[in-house]
Amino acid sequence: MGGNARMSQGPTDALPAANTMLVLSGCALFGAVAGAVGSFVLARRRALLADVAAHASLPGVCLAFLAGEALGVGGRTAWLLLAGGAATALLATWCVPQLARLRGVGPDGALAVSLSFFFGLGAVLLSAIQSHDSAAQGGLNHLLFGSAAATTRSDLVMLAVLAAAAIAVVALLFKEFAAIAFDEAHARVLGLPVRTMDIALLALLVSTVVAGMQVAGIVLVVSMIIAPAATARLLRGSMPRVVCTAALLGAGSAIAGVLLSLRYESLPTGSAMTLCAGAAFLAALPLAPLLVPRAGAPAGGATP
Amino acid sequence: MREFLLLDLPMVASALLALIACGTLGNWLVLRKESMTGDAVAHAVLPGLVAGFLVAGRHSIAAMFTGAAVAGVAAILLAGWIRRSTRLDPGAALGIVFTSFFALGVALLETQGARQIDLDPNCVLFGALETLFYVPPASGSWFEGVPREFWTLAAAAGIAVAFSLAAFKELTALAFDAEHARVSGIAPRWLEPALLCTVSMVVVASFEAVGSLLVVALLACPSLIAAPHASRIGTRFAISLGAGTAITVAGHLIAAYAPRALGTQAALNTAGMIATLLAAAVPASFALRALLNRRRA
């Protein structure tokens, strides 16, 4: 399957090169949202669930592609691909706690099983699509590792809509998220709907993943959720400060990644972004001990 | 028949060797609640593998192995160190390290002339089982036509089984009560690092042929399929490898013959098919156990 993996027909509504600024701002927006959402994902210890959600969007994207072809709206319709990806990603995150409840499976086994099932299904569907030579499949290959250069206008519109919605939700529910992230038991006593908030966070996570799929790629999009937030948590501070730092770091890594991948054409955008975000984490690592009070530091990392 | 021997047999045999290698060690990882460590190693070995290729060329298995094993062990040690020194949660530490390593590997692969070392990011994820077929050599003995990956996988399977048998008692103690095993001295200090090294070696060997996706599935799923049916560890190994074998063969047959039966030209990814079936078999196995229990009651 390696041979036909490199077909790259030009996307139908490709952006001219002059619109680099547009692509850059879209990616920066995605990075900021990923950082902000990631702060809460990490606080709830859901980093690897985010990995599973991202991988699990592949079968949904492929099914949406096939559905689009069958319905005659064109396989590469941005909203359809995103909706499909979001559906299977949500299904996979729903499966994880169900599997974890089985005796002897545990949280780690549940993640591995869910990942294998959904990503495996995605691999089968993707190979079927690739062998079924369709002119419209261009761009689907980019979804694995991301390509800012192949971003279409409709991709950017979808990204902006999802990012704006995610920012609105984070702003609206900030207090509740922060309270639950800081001390779940305490939040329960206060009467906060922890379960509902977790579902809301999951929905945010999945929207972030599918929004970033085109630029960062399904395989590595999770690093933009984990790394900037982890860096911000290293530097500590109050929850609003952690979220803002993570958003800034996310936007910075995304911009740097896009610029690198536009400069070196063969470098996939997802890899470039991940390496930038990882480098920022490495750079912050030696700073962390200076900023952490040795004794009496809160175990969770962030204080409300 | 001849077609089956030349095309299907090497593919199935390679997948089965990967199953023996990963499934055996996977039992220890699953019992230690470290299923996702396999996932991390399967991604983290990539930059080492590519560096080995770039430095020594396509056919230097030694360079490839050294590079990949170093990268795999380094990633796990780095994640452990980050976790201890920063109090980030284990998932986040692991996540940062393995995505960064994998991204580095993909970047090297794409920018340093991937075709030159003919390994592409798609194969890295989903394997190249479909390319493993027997090429009858023009001269010389028959085994020169066997794909190189087959021998690598055979060695990996041998190492995994030998290690598990040699340290069976110690690994069992470590798997069920790590604290007790360490304190009482049943498990020597080198055992956990040795397990990690063996896992990374086996992952590297399997990775090239079956891809990171199937490695993850092979490490976690067979052991979990056996979990509800086995109370003794020996039984668990037997069931996990037996069920794994059946599913691997079934996965190959479906991927190879289902499209033909349906009359389409589609070529389905074998590794993905096997991974999907293995994962689906886990809840199915638990459901079967529940059904058997109800009938007995």
Q: How confident is the model at residue A2 (pLDDT cuts 50, 70, 90)?
A: very low
Which residues on chain B are in Cβ contact (under 8 Å) with A2? 118, 120, 122-123, 128, 131
B6 lies within 8 A of chain A by CB: no
pLDDT (tens digit per residue) in B168-227: 988 998 888 888 888 888 878 888 888 988 898 888 888 878 888 999 999 999 999 999
Contact A122 B272 (CB under 8 A): yes
Judge whether B272 lies within some domain: yes
d(CA B5, CA B15): 15
pLDDT of residue A133: 61
**With the CA atoms of A127, A131, A137 and A140 taken in that order, what torsion angle do they form, in degrees rounded to the nearest 10?**
20
Judge whether B214 lies within some domain: yes
Contact A127 B272 (CB under 8 A): yes
Range of the domain at A189: 20-286
Judge whether A299 lies within some domain: no
CB of A48 closer than 8 Å to CB of B91: yes
Judge whether A13 lies within some domain: no
B263 in helix, strand or coil?
coil
pLDDT (tens digit per residue) in A176-209: 888 888 788 888 888 888 888 889 999 999 999 9
Judge whether A5 lies within some domain: no
Cβ partners under 8 Å of residue B122, min gap 6: A1, A2, A5, A141, A144
The beta-carbon neighbor of B221 closest among A111, A113, A289 is A113
Minimal CA separation from B92 to chain A, in Å: 5
The beta-carbon neighbor of B92 closest among A112, A124, A230 is A230
Judge whether A70 lies within some domain: yes
Residue B175 maps to which CATH number?
1.10.3470.10
Which residues on chain A are in Cβ contact (under 8 Å) with B30? 109
**Number of structural domains found in chain B:** 1
Contact B213 A123 (CB under 8 A): yes
pLDDT (tens digit per residue) in A124-181: 999 888 877 665 556 677 888 888 877 888 888 888 899 999 999 999 999 888 888 8
Look up the pTM and report it: 0.89
Contact A45 B217 (CB under 8 A): no
Range of the domain at B107: 10-118+167-291
Minimal CA separation from B227 to chain A, in Å: 6
Contact B279 A145 (CB under 8 A): no
Q: Identify residue B203 by its one-letter amino acid code.
A: V
Contact B272 A111 (CB under 8 A): no
A50 lies within 8 A of chain B by CB: yes
Judge whether A263 lies within some domain: yes
Judge whether B111 lies within some domain: yes
Lookup: tokens for B175: 């798997």
Judge whether B89 lies within some domain: yes
Which residues on chain B are in Cβ contact (under 8 Å) with A120? 213-214, 217, 271-279
Judge whether B296 lies within some domain: no
Q: Which residue of B has its CA nearest to A144?
A: B122
Judge whether A151 lies within some domain: yes
Residue A65 maps to which CATH number?
1.10.3470.10
Which residues on chain B are in Cβ contact (under 8 Å) with A5? 120-122
**With the CA atoms of A209, B266, B148 and B277 taken in that order, what torsion angle do they form, in degrees rounded to the nearest 10?**
60
Q: Any idea what the Cα angle at residue A60 is, between residues A211 and A148, rounded to 5°?
A: 35
> Within 10 Å of residue A252's Cβ, how many Cβ atoms?
18
> Within 10 Å of residue A210's Cβ, how many Cβ atoms?
27
C-alpha neighbours within 13 Å on the C-beta side of residue B220: 37
Judge whether A14 lies within some domain: no
Minimal CA separation from A135 to chain B, in Å: 15
